[in-house]
Structure 1
């Protein structure tokens, strides 16, 4: 990769890592489901009027929109609102690579190699260590919600692979239109109209800036830049940069939110990063001629931390 491309990849990882700290700030302004709905609304508008018509079937856009937008981000935002630290969330979400491999095996018949199985085991040990660390100072229920978000992320990765969008940015913008109404409906039902109206009525520059960051910077810029890199370099070259996301996530949370990072959490980070690297980057067994073959090296990393 050229030095400029390396810098761009690191920048995207930094943007996605810092995003978890920004989400934490946003949750002080908005109920979690309303916040997620506003994020996708801002990501979809006005971009949807400039990216052209959808280039894949609507069934894939709706499926990814519901699984990724409603389920994954709904669980993530609720989990963080319930007490899951921003830095730890950026770390634990990386277990999505393991769930992607497992779901690909169940849905597509992709058999993981021994190296990938070893990577899954190492990553799961990292999650276990992170759970022990969180159990000493935070709610395990919130931890479980973020794990659930990682499962949904893995499912959306497989759906995205099945969709095979020729234009990733076009696909992401149209996917962003799907979660808005379901998330708003769920927010009205569970968070209440008064909480939503109070949040919108008290919107200030910081709240607006948070929405713009998570929508335009992490989604439109981040996804567009990552897709641009993947079009110009092998996925196995670009993918390792996604392992920097938890580094920036944990560091920014410690710097701006004062979140402690003890030895146990650094140990969990090392195990997760190593396990995810083995799971995502190791060569896999592919079915000859199979149109549904899943290459984990290019799946599941474009959305990291958003």
Structure 2
């Protein structure tokens, strides 16, 4: 697809990360059902930064890039996604809308990184876009306009941080993720104060029950530190336009989690949307695997 293919072990690792991220949407919903979404996300990044920054050296990246990544990652992406779920989107639908970032990422890869995309990836992206059109026609109550807008802001932020990782050429990815998380909590806590006032913090001890605290820890450690460390490492090894389609597996796992934990209903529009997205993901992935066999068949036909 791009002159190289993803190794089998890396493929397994990437799919495992998408599974973790998919189920994380149900964990976010459990959190925002109990605590303010901005505080939930602020605590997530507080725990992601501490105690990690006390044990790992600051990466060789300028402070302004750490701050830009951390704010875009913490506020632009996950602050907005928590708000989208809090505003009425189901976990499965929120993750699906976030996949608009695939198109933005591919366009950014073409414009800023001069990456090329082949025919199979173009067709796959077209199928996925058609699937997202079906999302807009879901009327079972799992889509709200304001939630949709929050998720779109998250999609743009996801694409920006993916481009940053490609451009910065980061050597110590774990340290980069951990130190960048330092810049997310303060703006998130400030936004919670601006929206809800100081009384929100006086009631925090009561709101931070075991479910909310468990949601914070799950999002902070396996999802943020482990997941993004691994994913960003893969971004440094493979082109952005090759990695982006894998993120389309996230809503599949997110929908599965939402069905299991929240009994999300699967209407016809939702099933068509997810089916198209799966097809869009699989096409560019299987094309490099079957291309040699197709060439051999054509060669034999020409010989005969």
Q: Answer yes or no: same fold by TM over 0.5.
A: yes
| Deviating more after overlay: 106-115 vs 215-224 | 106-115
TM superposition shift of 1:87: 1.0
| Deviating more after overlay: 193-202 vs 66-75 | 193-202
Looking at structure 2, the residues matched to 98 and 132 of structure 1 have their Cα atoms a distance apart, in angstroms, of 20
TM superposition shift of 1:79: 1.0
Residue 207, structure 1, aligned to residue 212, structure 2: yes
Residue 43, structure 1, aligned to residue 48, structure 2: yes
TM superposition shift of 1:5: 6.6
Give matches, 1:114-133, under 5 Å. Answer: 114-133=119-138
TM superposition shift of 1:244: 3.3
Task: Work out which of the residue numbers 238, 249, 252 in structure 1 matches 2:257.
Answer: 252
Q: How far does the alpha carbon of each residue in 1:66-97 deviate from its partner, in whole angstroms, 9 at most, with x for none? A: 22211111211111100010011122222211
TM superposition shift of 1:276: 5.1
Q: How far does the alpha carbon of each residue in 1:135-187 deviate from its partner, in whole angstroms, 9 at most, with x for none? A: 76532221222122111111221122111211221111111111111111111
The alpha-carbon distance between structure 1 residues 196 and 117, as it changes in their structure 2 partners (threshold 3 A), is farther
Residue 221, structure 1, aligned to residue 226, structure 2: yes
Residue 186, structure 1, aligned to residue 191, structure 2: yes
Task: Work out which of the residue numbers 102, 108, 114 in structure 2 matches 1:97.
Answer: 102
3-state DSSP class of the match of 2:167? helix
TM superposition shift of 1:121: 2.9
Residue 77, structure 1, aligned to residue 82, structure 2: yes
| Deviating more after overlay: 134-143 vs 163-172 | 134-143
- Tell me if structure 2 keeps the 8 A contact 1:129–1:264: yes
3-state DSSP class of the match of 1:52? coil
- Tell me if structure 2 keeps the 8 A contact 1:21–1:249: yes
Residue 176, structure 1, aligned to residue 202, structure 2: no
| Deviating more after overlay: 64-73 vs 271-280 | 271-280
Looking at structure 1, the residues matched to 10 and 117 of structure 2 have their Cα atoms a distance apart, in angstroms, of 31
Where structure 2 has 5 or more consecutive residues not aligned to the other structure, the ranges are 1-5, 289-304
Q: Which has the higher helix share?
A: 2
3-state DSSP class of the match of 1:53? coil
The alpha-carbon distance between structure 1 residues 85 and 234, as it changes in their structure 2 partners (threshold 3 A), is same
3-state DSSP class of the match of 1:133? coil
Looking at structure 1, the residues matched to 68 and 206 of structure 2 have their Cα atoms a distance apart, in angstroms, of 32
Q: How far does the alpha carbon of each residue in 1:183-209 deviate from its partner, in whole angstroms, 9 at most, with x for none? A: 111111112221233133432222211
TM superposition shift of 1:242: 4.4
Where structure 1 has 5 or more consecutive residues not aligned to the other structure, the ranges are 284-306
Looking at structure 2, the residues matched to 240 and 116 of structure 1 have their Cα atoms a distance apart, in angstroms, of 9
The alpha-carbon distance between structure 1 residues 127 and 39, as it changes in their structure 2 partners (threshold 3 A), is same
Task: Work out which of the residue numbers 126, 141, 157 in structure 2 matches 1:152.
Answer: 157
Task: Work out which of the residue numbers 167, 170, 175 in structure 1 matches 2:172.
Answer: 167
**Larger C-alpha radius of gyration, 1 or 2?**
2
3-state DSSP class of the match of 1:259? coil
The alpha-carbon distance between structure 1 residues 281 and 98, as it changes in their structure 2 partners (threshold 3 A), is farther
| Deviating more after overlay: 223-232 vs 246-255 | 223-232
Looking at structure 1, the residues matched to 181 and 123 of structure 2 have their Cα atoms a distance apart, in angstroms, of 35
* Aligned residue in 1 for 2:57: 52
